[in-house]
Amino acid sequence: MQAVCYSAPNTFEIKSVPVPEVGEDEILVKVSFCGICGSDRHVIEGNLGPQSQWPITPGHEIVGRVARTGRGVKGFLEGDRVVVDPLSRCDQCFFCRRGKPIQCIEMKVLGWTSPGGFSEYVTVAAKNVFKIFNVTDEEATLIEPTACAIHAVDQLDLKVGSEVLILGAGPSGLMISRICKVNGATRVVLASNKGMKMDMAKQVNAADEYLELERDQSEAKEQWKAFKKANPYGFDAVVEATGSSDIANDAINYVRRGGTLELYGFYGAGLVHWAPSKIFGDEIRIVGALGQHRAFPRAVAYIDSGKINVKGLVTNVYNHQQFQEAVDKLESRQVMKIAVRP
């Protein structure tokens, strides 16, 4: 079979590799599409540390069909349409043994610690495979980001009727916004630069209000000033989903007293500079959210039922031969979700 293989950071070729073996409790999935995600860039650039297995086939937003099942697998038939949860916890580390699998330090990740979805086939533990029925294969690439967004919203621990501000209208910001909206927030404001992503956010009705920022920094600054004035009590929760540490630094100024700030991005070596007195005096809770654990059933339910609409959010489709183009396109403002097919 054919797979995208990175032999070193930023260096790949399309290689012919053996179709993986199928263990007793595993399923061989024939990949139809694999979404490409901001985090894939970190895998590709070699920023994710010693757990990365070189050479590596990235890709963790995997959609396909059951091609073969191991002897111990029940409930799946060849041809079933499925999505794959790429994360497996070890059940044995310090955190897993304390019932905190989300903090597992021996986590296995398809497309990072083992071969992923930019390939014709992957083998996956059957417990990580979920059937889909209605959503298209292409649009099902948004189920994995939705599962992560569900965990992000779980972390907010919102009360019914909360007011939420989301910063960033990429696939993650959009999904977090949408999930807050269908889970009882009275007001969800999505703030991001003007342009295609915000247009799409409106198209899928992602928020209640949109703060469309000008690209010009001084104009944007004025817009934030006016926004602050119009919302003197801030928001119960502010979610920073741009991955910019500068924006994270400022985001705390929009958190209501007693509210929560969530950081949701790969910030690299970026730093923030907050007055501890504000966190102390305003009783602000600061949380992070990385990946998800067992959030796939809920993500499938939202997307496959159409309750969360993902129509049109896959804006670009490439094949393996065009993989570099797909990676380059990640940088573009004119893109929402990119799906890659073999």
Shortest Å, Cβ 39 to Zn ion: 5
CA 302 to chain centroid, in Å, comes to 15
User: Residues 70-100, buried b or exposed e (16+ Cβ, 10 A)?
Assistant: beebeebeeebbbbbbbbbbeeebebbeeee
Min dist CB 146 to Zn ion, Å, is 10
Residues 52/46, Cβ–Cβ less than 8 Å: yes
Which three-class secondary structure state does DSSP give residue 252?
A: helix
| Closest to 146 (Cα-Cα) out of 206, 222, 230 | 206
Contact 145, 175 (CB under 8 A): yes
Half-sphere exposure for 24 (CA within 13 Å, toward CB): 1
Least distance (Å) from Zn ion to the CB of residue 3? 19
Q: How far is the CB of 42 from Zn ion (least distance, A)?
A: 11
* Closer by beta carbon to Zn ion, 96 or else 150: 96
The smaller minimum CB distance to Zn ion, of residues 89 and 320, is found at: 89
Q: CB 117 → Zn ion: shortest distance, Å? A: 11
89 vs 178 by CB, closer to Zn ion: 89
Closer CB to Zn ion, residue 42 or residue 202?
Answer: 42
Instruction: State the Cα torsion 103-92-295-153 to the nearest 10°.
Output: -20
Q: Which is nearer to Zn ion, 110 or 284 (CB)?
A: 110
State which residue, 22 or 43, has the beta carbon closest to Zn ion: 43
Nearer to Zn ion, 48 or 90 (CB): 90
Q: What is the DSSP track for 200-240?
A: HHHHTT--SEEEEE-SSHHHHHHHHHHHHHH-TT-EEEEEE
Instruction: Please give the angle made by the CA atoms of 167, 169 and 173, to the nearest 5 degrees.
Output: 70
Backbone CA torsion sign across 238, 176, 297, 56: negative
Rounded to a whole number of angstroms, the minimum distance from the CB of residue 88 to Zn ion is 9
- Smallest distance, Zn ion to C-beta of residue 235, A: 26
Tokens of 115: 């071969």
Residues in contact with Zn ion by the rule CB under 5 A: 37, 89-90, 93, 96, 104, 106
